[in-house]
Structure 1
């Protein structure tokens, strides 16, 4: 079930919001937990049992990880923590990476005339996200930052909460632990604040991202012999915009839904295409993933506390894992290595700090956008050969235009939306629309909220009703 589907918009969301609003406070987490499992099962089918198994294991183990007053069993608890993290990562590896690993092994074996079977497993929806939630939960308890949840309903609510279950934001346990008690308040004000945020996300997804999808697909599906400079750049820019509006749209919808249910979920985007360095880009793009890797991998590795060489090593590790986390393919690995190399270069040369002059900032912002766009080409391509086809044509200007297929996909309506979406490259990074919608009490904010609810929401709903929507891009991760 997608947020941008008639079933969710017309039936599921209103029913759950009404149930949470009228239910006694002590029942609200139960309503959310049951609704979340139903939501997940509607798309995941039998792999819902895998989610439930992970929930049971982590819930049962977590209380034993809590530090006691004298901390007499720290060594045993450390091994228990390692064991439960290994369990979580093993589930992720088997279901997400076993196919890739056995495929590479089969290729290697073929060089020696041998044959090995290739494992094929259906990827459970959201497994990368709920695995990271489980790891955050047990690590935060082991560190003594928050106590283990004794109520299983509250734990299921945290792990399976349907707004964030499938594609984030990734919520560290300590960020939400204080919001999980059964007596959490819930008011109509929460719905009034969350609904415009949800409407913003739906408009981003359905009106912008889904309109760009046919153009991007046509560009990347162009055969190598027909690829041109114009098609390559149109596809690259189109995907750069499509991914942003699709994923930030999902995040806005998730945060808005969470607010309507009485939760304050962390922000995930802050105008990333206004960044003047790649380092800054990663402080603004998929922020919840960056924070997770910082807290649970980068800092435990030593962060930047042990000299330049180890800092660069840690950055490489983080972005290699970031690439691999997104998918089991060499394109994702290369994309992670590419960004790791850029961050190491910026840190080594001091270019991770923004220039003081306005002209320097503009030039660096253009360069950062171009580098990020090049990275998205690798990220989007099905394999290395396809990525090279697009990248090589981006570097070789020619006089050829668009193919018939790409020209048909880029109709007048989509061209207007594409040009409007390009404005995101020029917006300042200071004011972020999502938080502004929720918190600002000014007249412009009120006008924007009314416009989203009376125009954006209804136009997006009409498009959903006509079937002109597609799954969120991050569902595949």
Structure 2
């Protein structure tokens, strides 16, 4: 079930009414209801994979209970290893089995040995990367004795399957979300209002920005061999805005829906394209994943402590693993490695904690220095996104080669019956609005403004008609 579908537009009001008016007085009934509707939400895509979520839930729930009772350090490590092997094994099978088979065959073909094999007919379960990391955070934190395991299977199962963020995050820590299932929720109008604002703005980011950009991105990337430098440059910028509008839009809708139900989810995006260096970008982009890798991989490896060689090693490990998490293609690995190269100078010069506040805080126009830093950071990010979007590494390099060597900056016909100038103006207007409200959660946050809300809804309806309906990009991860 998609957030931008008519099915969800019917599903959410029904859930909201039953949740607050029928099950309000009974916490356990509320949690059971949420668990059921979460399974319905996920099963709407493919009910067969509900068994996978249930199995992961059962294993990590009982491992958490066993870790609480077990005092032996050796046995506790075996319990943690069981959770890691199961969760990462399932993730590896469904997401990477074909990738490793194809890479193995390609490696032998380079040596002149032709191997005859076939890939497996594997369907990638939607959201598996997200709920797998969510359950892992629970067992790891219980193992580290940073939290007490829950004794309620219903609460834990609802935490794992909570439908607003089930298929594309934010990746919630058990220490933050799980306790919210243990205490009664009280409807708060202001919280619900902020949730509606997030939903509306998220739909705008997805339907108006991301889906509109997608039309141009597909036309340019699918025909990049015949595109000039201007078109290829626009294609890279459009994809940067597409993936931002798509994923930030999903996250905002998820957080907004959770607030309607009385839950608080962590912020996942914080105006990343206004970052002044790559370290700041990664503090503002996909925050739940960045902090997950920081806490469960980067810091255990030593983080920024130790020798320069160890610091460099740790940076490359975390970024390459992050790239590989996104998909089974070498393009994602290169994308991660490229971001590691971007990050290294900032880290080695000890400038990675320099820009902790918003650019130009309290002012309409930032300094010239900061604007140049923002433009450079955005440009570097766009170059990295080309690898993320391209079908192969070869395509990525050829795309970049044509973009920097063609040097023809003329408007081209894209055969998509769209007007490029209007698209550029739409993107410019979107960035300007986000810049004005960059110190707020969204441009709709704060005191209720009927004009802003109605204008945004009208834009969704009017401009949404001209954008092609697209599934969320991160559903494939």
TM-score under structure 2 normalisation? Answer: 0.91
Pairing 1:431-442 to 2, within 5 Å after superposition: 431-434=439-442, 437=444, 440=446
Aligned residue in 2 for 1:161: 162
The number of equivalent residue pairs is 463
1:412–1:348 distance in 2 versus 1, CA, 3 Å: closer
Pairing 1:245-260 to 2, within 5 Å after superposition: 245-260=245-260
Secondary structure class of the residue paired with 1:146: coil
Pairing 1:2-401 to 2, within 5 Å after superposition: 2-9=2-9, 11-22=10-21, 23=23, 24-26=25-27, 27-66=29-68, 72-110=71-109, 111-181=112-182, 183-224=184-225, 226-352=226-352, 354=354, 358-399=367-408, 401=410
Which deviates more from structure 2 when the two are superposed, residues 236-245 or residues 412-421? 412-421
Q: Is the 8 A contact 1:215 1:238 kept in 2?
A: yes
Which deviates more from structure 2 when the two are superposed, residues 455-464 or residues 234-243? 455-464
Q: Is the 8 A contact 2:105 2:114 kept in 1?
A: no
1:235–1:34 distance in 2 versus 1, CA, 3 Å: same
- TM-superposed deviation, 1:178: 2.2
1:352–1:466 distance in 2 versus 1, CA, 3 Å: closer
Q: Is the 8 A contact 1:184 1:262 kept in 2?
A: yes
Provide the rounded CA distance (Å) in 1 between the counterparts of 2:256 and 2:151: 28
Map Cα deviations across residues 312-336 of structure 1 (whole Å, 9 max, x no partner): 2111100010000000001000000
Which deviates more from structure 2 when the two are superposed, residues 399-408 or residues 102-111? 399-408
1:466–1:388 distance in 2 versus 1, CA, 3 Å: closer
- TM-superposed deviation, 1:461: 5.1
Provide the rounded CA distance (Å) in 2 between the counterparts of 1:309 and 1:248: 35
Provide the rounded CA distance (Å) in 1 between the counterparts of 2:348 and 2:465: 52
- TM-superposed deviation, 1:177: 2.7
- TM-superposed deviation, 1:191: 2.3
Structure 2 unaligned residues grouped into runs of 5+: 360-365
Q: Is the 8 A contact 2:210 2:242 kept in 1?
A: yes
Provide the rounded CA distance (Å) in 1 between the counterparts of 2:453 and 2:97: 45
- TM-superposed deviation, 1:274: 1.1
Provide the rounded CA distance (Å) in 1 between the counterparts of 2:461 and 2:153: 36
Q: Is the 8 A contact 1:21 1:187 kept in 2?
A: no
1:203–1:451 distance in 2 versus 1, CA, 3 Å: farther
Provide the rounded CA distance (Å) in 1 between the counterparts of 2:441 and 2:451: 13
Secondary structure class of the residue paired with 2:301: coil
Secondary structure class of the residue paired with 2:435: coil
Provide the rounded CA distance (Å) in 2 between the counterparts of 1:428 and 1:114: 58
Provide the rounded CA distance (Å) in 2 between the counterparts of 1:249 and 1:412: 24
- TM-superposed deviation, 1:29: 1.3
Pairing 1:442-453 to 2, within 5 Å after superposition: 445-447=447-449, 450-453=450-453
Which deviates more from structure 2 when the two are superposed, residues 142-151 or residues 36-45? 142-151
1:468–1:18 distance in 2 versus 1, CA, 3 Å: farther
Provide the rounded CA distance (Å) in 1 between the counterparts of 2:148 and 2:187: 23
- TM-superposed deviation, 1:268: 0.6
Secondary structure class of the residue paired with 1:168: coil
1:182–1:349 distance in 2 versus 1, CA, 3 Å: closer
Q: Is the 8 A contact 1:218 1:409 kept in 2?
A: no
Q: Is the 8 A contact 1:190 1:261 kept in 2?
A: no
1:317–1:188 distance in 2 versus 1, CA, 3 Å: same
1:285–1:196 distance in 2 versus 1, CA, 3 Å: same
RMSD over aligned Cα atoms: 2.4
1:407–1:421 distance in 2 versus 1, CA, 3 Å: farther
- TM-superposed deviation, 1:77: 0.8
- TM-superposed deviation, 1:134: 0.8
- TM-superposed deviation, 1:213: 1.1
